[in-house]
Structure 1
Amino acid sequence: MPFLLDDLRADVARRYDRLGLPSWPDPHADVHGPADDEYGRVTDPERLRIVHARATAWVDVLVSRLGARTEPVGPQDRTALPGEDRGLAVVPPRDGAMRLLLLEREGDADTPGLPAPLAVAVVRPDVVVERVPVCACDACDPGSEALLDEVDQAIGHVVAGETVVLRHPRWSATWQPGGAELTGGGRRMRFDRAMELCRRVHAGERVRLPWRTEAFAGAPWGEPG
């Protein structure tokens, strides 16, 4: 739903820009690759908080423009362990749309003093569709614009009803337009088979899933007001 995402994303960008947060170019845009000493090094870790500020701008827009509401991540989320997840859930205004969770997970930060990455999840805290950044070291730094785009893409696809997640005890598949991932597959599940199932679930087909597989998909949240 480009008409929905373009409008919402522009509003998110306007609200975010008012904050005057740091921005920086891709430090590797004009070189062949990162230097050896960039691996494991984190320069100015506080600037990575821009990903959480961007997520907060999204929450403001979803509440004010679509009529969503927020609620804490609490005991109803059986997979949220005390002290592990901080953040909130955004409840869509439309039945059939997926609940969005925006979380900070201290356990994902492998460097002392480094801000916890943003985990974008649907329905439950354990159904994560994206982590930003995946790695915070200088070698993996793509620049601020790319980080913000990752946040926008992950949240935007959920809001537009364009995210499908399949969860099995031994593998997990995530599908969105323009991107797909399979972890733990191998002989248990082929990538092409997993993506076929995801696309059929997204299309609303009746799909016979492998035993013990959960499917997470939802309708668009609605048009901006």
Structure 2
Amino acid sequence: MDEPVLLREVEARFAVTAASTPGWASPHPEREPLEEEYSRVSDPARWRIEGARALAWTLALTGLGLASREEVGPSGVAASTRGAWRVVPRAAGALSVLVVGTRSDDGLLVDVELHAGEPPVVVLGLDCHCDACDSGSADVLETQDDAWLEVVSGALVHLEAPGRVLTTSRGGWSESWSPGAAGPERGASRLADHEDRDADLAAVRRGGAPDPRWRRVVHGAPWG
């Protein structure tokens, strides 16, 4: 996959999809947020830029012949106000991306989430839109771009054991586990200290198998 070509296509599509959603600078670049900003959303409509970016990615991937788009019906999302579609890669062994968001009046989504694989793994969760957490549209776009690239590049590795989750990306890894769990989860706690974590991840990326205590492995091939 030629990543610069893909990103240029995303930007070209975004120039169209974001025509009604201009970007904005951080509202507090040189100070700490004020207490009242944590309970205030000054301009809810501006967050449609999330949906404009998700649509631009979808159009770029389908336009370059790397994927197709499938609509997801109401039964496939949590609430009637939520809309969704699935971006399905053409490359064998690659993970699809489920785009979910709340529909706005003009059809763009807000509160965008991205999920990969089946059952889905969250690669981009809900963002807080309060004024205090707002750091400007550039950060919003970069965060979503990174999530798409994790899946499209084949970098995402998600491992699960009882009481234990390890997720890696192009920029590092994150983990959560339950050290006080009983029964089978005790093995997961020991796994959290497993010195061969990097070997497990490398094995998955090579198409092999990690430590058998990992009960679920989510990883896909690059999209192109």
Q: TM-score, normalised by structure 1?
A: 0.79
Equivalences for residues 1-225 of structure 1 within 5 A: 4-18=2-16, 19-20=18-19, 21-31=21-31, 33-73=32-72, 81=78, 83=80, 86-104=83-101, 116-124=110-118, 126-133=120-127, 135-168=128-161, 170-186=163-179, 188=189, 190=192, 196=198, 197-210=200-213, 213-222=215-224
Does the 8 Å contact 2:66/2:223 carry over to 1? no
Does the 8 Å contact 1:132/1:151 carry over to 2? no
CA distance in 2, matches of 1:101, 1:131: 12
Q: Output the amino acid matched with 1:121.
A: H
Match of 1:112 in 2: none
Does the 8 Å contact 2:73/2:84 carry over to 1? no
Q: Which consecutive unaligned segments of at least 5 residues does structure 2 have?
A: 104-108, 181-188
Distance 1:7 1:180, change over 3 A: same
Q: Output the amino acid matched with 2:167.
A: T
CA distance in 1, matches of 2:124, 2:82: 15
| 1:104 positional shift | 1.8
Larger radius of gyration: 2
Q: Which consecutive unaligned segments of at least 5 residues does structure 1 have?
A: 107-114
User: Cα RMSD over matched residues?
Assistant: 2.8
| 1:170 positional shift | 3.1
Does the 8 Å contact 1:173/1:194 carry over to 2? no
Q: Give a deviation string over 1:116-155, Cα, whole Å, max 9, x none.
A: 521111123641111252x221111121011001111101
Deviates more, 1:189-198 or 1:142-151: 189-198
SS in 2 for 1:94: coil
Does the 8 Å contact 2:51/2:110 carry over to 1? no
Distance 1:46 1:84, change over 3 A: closer
SS in 2 for 1:102: strand
Does the 8 Å contact 1:163/1:174 carry over to 2? yes
CA distance in 1, matches of 2:117, 2:124: 14
CA distance in 1, matches of 2:194, 2:139: 28
Q: Give a deviation string over 1:55-77, Cα, whole Å, max 9, x none.
A: 10011011110341111235996
Q: Give a deviation string over 1:80-125, Cα, whole Å, max 9, x none.
A: 557485211111011111111111269xxxxxxxx75211111236
Match of 2:106 in 1: none
Q: Output the amino acid matched with 2:87.
A: V
Q: TM-score, normalised by structure 2?
A: 0.79
Q: Output the amino acid matched with 2:218.
A: F
Distance 1:199 1:75, change over 3 A: farther
SS in 1 for 2:63: helix
Deviates more, 1:166-175 or 1:156-165: 166-175
| 1:216 positional shift | 0.6
